[in-house]
A and B are shown apart, each in its own frame.
Chain A
Amino acid sequence: MTAVTEAPPPLAPTAPEAKPPRRRGRLTPYWLLLPGILWLVVFFALPMIYQASTSVQTGSLEQGYKVTWHFVTYWDALSEYWPQFLRSVLYAAAATVLCLLLGYPLAYLIAFRAGRWRNLIMILVIAPFFTSFLIRTLAWKTILADGGPVVGALNALHVLDVTNWLGWTSGDRVLATPLAVVCGLTYNFLPFMILPLYTSLERIDGRLHEAAGDLYARPFTTFRKVTFPLSMPGVVSGTLLTFIPAAGDYVNADLLGSTDTRMVGNVIQSQFLRILDYPTAAALSFILMAAILVMVTVYIRRSGTEDLV
């Protein structure tokens, strides 16, 4: 993680050593860090510890909770809610793959083909951020509505027959099916894929493409052997930035899905805010966190770009 920060500043290749300019005050960095780090320790790290302790408590709201090291809560939570866990991972994975497939051409377009339209397209990618994402997700209800143009077109092309058979949709509707939820997740997190992809594509030296062409590589070969490998940091951070929030999301599953598409986020939300079963809720959210940390670590190791952040 620190590999990037250790590198010398790129603007000063001949600078003797990127040593701190101010030597006085060995305590200065600590004073600079103190307020922010304190905030994160008290409101990020400490809550995690509280949650860990809550997950091994037993009791009830009326009589209060006590730490009893009741680890069975974890087992119970997993055996009751494994379908929601599985669904979260599957939906998030599907949305991530779709984001990569949809986002790559757009990032490539902005980086290499857009010319003077580059800034405008960039603005159009970022601007939806400023319209509340809930409003935009609700708009998908209109777009995918029963009897609407999208459902009609899919029906006419017999796509719905295929998706019905696959279990992605049911009946003549898209709303309240897995397809709608994955579509919403893909839409929601697409910018988080495009921006890192664009950043890493933009860094690629255009002369490499020319060189590949000079060596008789066809455009697709150039892409496969030069462009795509060089964009790997963007691919890795883009997939992480879409997969992690998508796996924990409950907004799309709630607004666009049905009770058959509930994800683990929905369960955590209702356990915490409606059923008020805090130990189970805490255990569930710990399992989600652990699962994601394990998957992310394995993924980063495998893709070999550990100095991402």
Chain B
Amino acid sequence: MPFVTWLKRHLVVIAGLLTLGYLLLPNVVVTVFSFNKPKGRFNYEWQRFSTDAWKDPCGVAGMCGSLSLSLQIAVWATLGATALGTMIAFALVRYRFRARGAVNSLIFLPMAMPEVVMAASLLTLFLNMGAQLGFWTILIAHIMFCLSFVVTAVKARVMSMDPRLEQAAQDLYAGPFQTFWRVTLPIAAPGIAAGALLAFALSFDDFIITNFNAGSTVTFPMFVWGSAQRGTPVQINVIGTAMFVLAVLFVLVSMVIGNRRARSKA
């Protein structure tokens, strides 16, 4: 039976592609339903094709405001977490010092903790301090949970770095600052970029921790959450589709640039 042998040979490929389909199915649905014209408040059933929502993406009260707030928080959280995380990563890889084990555990624990637990405990702290919940408490929380992921990403890159490159720079009379700026940082850059990208995505998409510590401030995920109860506007699907397309384009472009650079170096 040739079909059965064919199936056997390609079983992994078929199963893998089915999983990929499962992963992408919601994105397909989001895209399709961004062109829907729903009858009632809920955009769960297909009615008829329309580009209304695409022509007027900010036509829903409060949505674009929450989107820009989420972007701002994500940018600041990325900057904060990347700066602090890179410093920790360098310290952990480059230096032997006491309390290294303790520091490693402190980095690891936030990643091994359910988000609800962190969110609830942080809220307890803020309530006890009498802090005003809002932009700043969200930002503090986001930097906190992004930090460990940045450290892990940067650490992986710095660990695979050849220390002799820096020694060579010093042998050529580069000062410590020059060595760092001209040698160390460029080599570590991909790791730092990966960490920053991860932090941005995590912060922008975070719901659970924000939900606890936002007070009455509404970020984009919180807007989506609220609209799930009241009725989801089609514009949410427009934003979802746009985000997906932009992400794919961004990665494609950066890969093309990376390939060119690699080729021009060779």
Contacts and interface: CB of A to CB of B under 8 A. Distances in A.
A12 B165 CA distance: 10
B29 A143 contact: yes
Contacts of A110: 16
Q: Is the interface of A mostly helix, strand, loop or mixed?
A: helix
A230 interface: no
A126 B211 CA distance: 24
A128 B16 contact: no
Indicate the member of B115, B151, B166, B255 with the most A CB atoms within 10 Å: B115
B207 interface: yes
A40 B162 contact: no
B35 interface: no
Given A44-B118, A109-B17, A132-B243, A36 B87 contact: yes
A90 to B, nearest CB: 16
Contact of A106 (B16, B44, B100, B232): B16
A124 interface: yes
A224 to B, nearest CB: 14
A268 B163 contact: no
B251 A20 contact: no
Given A2-B100, A11-B160, A36-B84, A141 B44 contact: yes
Interface string B128-151: 100000000000110110010001
B26 A143 contact: yes
A193 to B, nearest CB: 10
B244 A268 contact: no
B85 to A, nearest CB: 6
A54 B88 CA distance: 31
A95 interface: no
A22 interface: yes
Contacts of B108: 1, 309
A97 interface: no
Interface in A99-150: 102-103, 105-110, 113, 119, 121, 123-143, 145
A45 B106 contact: yes
Contacts of A141: 44
Contacts of A213: none
Contacts of B166: 21
Nearest to B44: A142
Contacts of B164: 12, 15
B257 to A, nearest CB: 13
A21 B208 contact: no
Contact of B87 (A21, A35, A249, A285): A35
A22 B247 CA distance: 40
Given A128-B244, A136-B30, A138-B228, A32 B87 contact: yes
A46 interface: yes
B224 A269 contact: no
Interface in A14-72: 15, 18-22, 28-30, 32-33, 35-37, 39-41, 43-48, 50-51, 54
A259 B12 CA distance: 38
B40 interface: no
B262 interface: no
Interface of A: 1-2, 4-5, 9-12, 15, 18-22, 28-30, 32-33, 35-37, 39-41, 43-48, 50-51, 54, 102-103, 105-110, 113, 119, 121, 123-143, 145, 187, 190-191, 240, 244-245, 247-251, 255, 265, 268-269, 272-273, 278, 281-282, 285-286, 288-289, 292-293, 296, 309
Given A32-B87, A268-B116, 11 more contacts: A9-B162, A15-B162, A21-B166, A33-B87, A33-B88, A40-B110, A132-B205, A135-B224, A138-B236, A139-B27, A272-B212
